[in-house]
A and B are shown apart, each in its own frame.
Chain A
Amino acid sequence: MQSKYLTLLHIALLLVIISACENEIVDDYEPELNVLSVLNDMTSIQTVYVDRTYSMYDTAGGLIEDALVIMSAGSYVDTLDFIHETGMYWTDAFNIVPLATYELTVIKEGFDTLTGTTTVPASFVIIHPAFNDTISFQDTIVFAKSEKAGVYGCVLRHEMINFATFFYHEPDPLDSIIQLPIGEHLESAPPGRYVIYISAYDSNFYEYHFGLGDSILQAGVTGGVGCFGSIRTEGTVAYILAD
């Protein structure tokens, strides 16, 4: 009897161990569409780059030229044209309006259809410097927070000479007023009259470009990878004097 029980025990244990054996997972990857489009209220032309993903073992090709790229806002729909010189799709049919929502659809045979949505950040006010103010490099740019914005970008462009600088600023979520010390970003800049652009980038743009670990594959898009974002820009002009 004892040996019978022992045999049964061995069989049961063997079954447990065999049942734990795992199948080899097949590495079967289906490529997806990959886009980048950031709608900009400062330009009349909006662009879309269309690319695809590749398996780790395939040689990559260039950007995709024969996709059907459709952009819409409310009931207005436009199909974008491809420009070979720049490698992107474009349209001039849209005015980018604060807090408006835009949709993107990219269709290409052999791929899942990619769709995207972005809401343009709200208008905001540059509090300081006011237009044509005179300030120093020790001064601070002050502006109110924009609704729907995830990150801000600041362009300082000298009007007389070929000099410009750009930097991003990640706001503290608790701040309603944002302050940017000029001197931190213009250490050896020439004094003069500057055009100051403050751009509010939407949360899709922020997640894609500033997401943790560069691991954000989808920002405002589904059915593929990439980013569909938008920008609202405000500007002013100021004389920046040497200290």
Chain B
Amino acid sequence: MLSASGSVSGFITDASNGERLAYTNIYLENTTLGTASNDKGYYILHRIPSGAYNIVFSYVGYETNISDIVIEENKNLTLNVELNPSPIEIGEVTVSAERTRFERTVEVSHIIFTPRDIKSVPSLFEGDLIKTLQLMPGIVIMHDLSNKLHVRGGSPDENLVLLDGITVYNPSTHLGGLFSTFDPEAVGYAELYAGGFPANFGDRLSAVLNVETKEGNSKSCTGNVSLGLITSKLLFEGPIPSGSFLVAGRRTYFDALVWLYDQIWNKDISLPYYFYDLLAKVNFNPSSENRFTLAGLKSTDIVSYLENTTGEADERIDLEWGNRGASLRWRRVFSPKFYGEVVGAWSNFITRLKYIDYTDTTDNLNLYEDILDYTMKCDFNYFLNENHTLDFGIDGKTMKVGYNYDFTEDLFFEQEQKMNIISAYFQNKSFLIPNIISINAGFRGMYCSKGKRFSIDPRLGIKYLFKPNTAFNFALGKYSQFLVTINSQESYFSVFDFWRPVGETQKLPTAYHIVAGYEQWFDEQTKFTIEPYYKKYYNLLVPTIDDLFFSEPTDSLKVGDGYATGIDFFLKKTLKDVFGWISYSLSYTKRRFEGNSYSPRYDRRHNLNLVFGFTIPRSVPLIRNGTLSVRWYFATGLPYAKDIARYRRLIYNPFGLVEYEWMTIQSARDAFRLPVSHRLDIHLEKNMRIFGLNGSWFIDVINVYSRKNIAFYIVDWDTGPYDTDPPQIKSYSLLPIPIPSFGFTINF
């Protein structure tokens, strides 16, 4: 039989802009043969008996493509297909990429996001990928403004974050952590593994966020300009010979408006802060088998303040931090069955602080903190047959973490730590029983030059398609991490992390994941998942001074262990005119350090998110055919240490008089919990035409019913004429009133 068969392979792309289409459903009419494109849009259909067929390419939101093909014995037919976008009607049965993945891949705790998901969810000031991810099951936020991801009891530094292959060490650094580095206009695709992730990812304990920017329009020059309350954005993309390019930029402009106001009205005010992001990408396809992609990122926050009280400069503060990175990728189809990608990436996170005192130069200060990462990564897929794929790869990473604290000429600290990590992985994806039981078994081996350590991390995923619409998933794996942060991951307002290699004498932080999943599809567009999980941690390293900034050096970190367990529920429905999801998480997280077991500050017991959006009917004036979406969340309180008492802290004085100050006595760090939080946000978006161009406007209102979610308490001692009067404990909300925001986008 085998000798009388051939195959067909190729790439599937969007006809309007050349973007790849991952997980497209592909099958031969009147046969049982079918497959799906992978995450790069590549597909291969094996063992097709010689003859003539109609091959069908189906993807939600696109016109179904049916092509006539002739398969010849022992030959591969290369067929690259472009699908034309076509709005589907409600109820139309078109196989979604998610549904295709359900049928074809072993994936637990895996969620994919598209730009539509990001932009259609209500958000403070503008859509943000991290804010959208926070609505997913298993993800906890510490307060209304948080832009960190605490995934299934993990801290944010346990997440691997990749942008076009570039490791992003601090993804949420803008405006005090309010916005992420990812410009939503430029995001093409994002995937989150909340646990049990496969062997091609490593060096983190909890989760993986892999973000790919758009490829760039290879058909025509297009772009858009957006103006929001906080930022303005520009995206421009278009074709180049045998390829495409994309340039995107974003910048806050409040500082410019304040400057203009100052110039006109001479009010002597300034806003010394702004941030910007620049992203560029070039694709070059010298042949259908080869593609080269060059991507670059620069994301920077700047505070620049000049004190000028006497007519001359008194002091100056320059603070700058941000991500920079670049990657060059070569994707090659070596043969129809053998697909590979080689990535070289550079990542650099910098922090610079320069203080100049013009009146007393001995007060000058110059600090910098740097993390530099060079990565070379090779990933290969070998498609043995329609039921069997081998994935393997190797990557090498060389890192340098350095800081330089120059307080005065006499006080100077400098340190540089280097580390090389070499990793290799292998995973075998196969159907044990075709279309019923599939398995993804593999391992990841890692060697770290710091401490000359090896780690072998086995991974296993199994899917049992119990019925055509029902599957049971199971995954387990070991996860190791060679880098840790030395600042507390439980801080409410940390903007960026300070990373260090795990010390040579310290044991490697390790986690074991066990995830069991139940997945039910009610129709082609509605899925429901239940995922209980258990995650056990060993050798976790946290700062000695938990609530303050950071411990130094790494050897002074506390060593502990812990666990996280819970169950996540997720119900999602996506149609053209209606979409929404409900996510609920029940979770328990414990950490144990120096014999003390406690719930970390991000241990939220119950977390419910409701998202619902729909296209406004034609009968509604002004906003007909617009999109209205609402988001409501309900969450039980986070643990905190309560000020339960006060006392005079008597202070010894060698000259005889004892002084005192009032101090509070706190409960155990997790003895109390904050009150429940809930909030309603709405988002209204409407397409428009302006100056002959297509565009859209949006209005967001965050915290519609003015819920004061308590983020923390502060003791106010100045409450009466006597210091013996009891203090007041004041609660603080970060979003105490409804916050409206708006913006518009013009496409060209």
Contacts and interface: CB of A to CB of B under 8 A. Distances in A.
Contacts of A27: 642, 644, 672
Nearest to B546: A213
Given A166-B655, A205-B652, A56 B671 contact: no
B386 interface: no
Interface size class of B (residues with CB under 8 A): 35 or more
26 contacts: A13-B569, A16-B586, A20-B606, A22-B636, A25-B672, A27-B642, A29-B645, A36-B650, A36-B652, A53-B647, A56-B643, A56-B645, A56-B715, A56-B729, A57-B726, A60-B723, A60-B724, A60-B726, A155-B654, A166-B654, A166-B655, A205-B652, A212-B545, A213-B547, A214-B649, A229-B652
Contacts of A16: 567, 586
Q: 8 tightest CB-CB pairs across the interface, nearest first?
A: A36-B650, A60-B724, A53-B647, A53-B645, A34-B647, A38-B652, A29-B644, A29-B645
A31 interface: yes
Interface of A: 13, 16-17, 20, 22, 25, 27, 29, 31, 34-36, 38, 49, 51-61, 88, 153, 155, 164, 166, 199, 205, 209, 212-215, 217, 225-227, 229
B654 A153 contact: yes
Contacts of B726: 54, 56-60
A206 to B, nearest CB: 11
Contacts of A34: 647-648, 650
B650 A54 contact: no
The dominant DSSP class at the B interface is: strand
Given A20-B588, A52-B647, 5 more contacts: A53-B647, A56-B644, A61-B724, A215-B666, A226-B650
Contact of B645 (A54, A59, A205, A229): A54
A213 B652 contact: no
Contacts of B384: none
Nearest to B725: A59
A52 B663 CA distance: 12
B654 to A, nearest CB: 6
Interface in B648-663: 648-652, 654-655, 658, 663
A49 B650 contact: yes
A49 B658 contact: yes
Contacts of A22: 605, 636, 673
Contacts of B651: 36, 209
Nearest to B657: A86
B94 to A, nearest CB: 28
B586 A51 contact: no
Nearest to B644: A29
Nearest to B606: A20
Contacts of A213: 545, 547-548
B664 interface: yes
B568 to A, nearest CB: 12
Given A22-B636, A49-B658, A213-B548, A54 B725 contact: no
Contacts of B663: 214
A225 B658 contact: no
B646 interface: yes
A20 B518 CA distance: 21
